[in-house]
Amino acid sequence: MDVVFTSTVMLSDNGQTWCVHLCDTQTGKTHVCDTLEAYEACLEKLAAPYGGRVDHVAWSCDAKVPPFMLDEVRFAMAAFQEKYHHQLDT
């Protein structure tokens, strides 16, 4: 069975910043992450029952998120992916 998570970029409650809704598709557990550091910690926590394995993360973006905020997330994710490039390339 594949370990799949969904990540949806959304506007935070204040409407001024972004957040990521992270969901474990097996259990339905969700977390709202205001930073990518929080996202990283939540992803590790949700992946722990699967031995830390993550087979796929399906990303989406809420239509209300303005393009400049989505760009912020993309740039931050590029740095995040670089940090884990050795694991992603295997």
Number of structural domains, the chain?
1
pTM above 0.75, yes or no: yes
Q: Which domain holds residue 36?
A: 4-88
Q: Residue-wise pLDDT tens for the chain (90 aa)?
A: 799 999 999 999 888 999 999 999 999 999 999 998 999 999 999 999 999 999 999 999 999 999 999 999 998 888 877 776 666 555
CA-wise closest residue to 23 among 66, 67, 56, 63: 56
Backbone angles phi, psi at 49, to 5 degrees: -65, -15
User: Alpha carbon 16 to chain centroid distance?
Assistant: 19
CB 11 within 8 A of CB 70: no
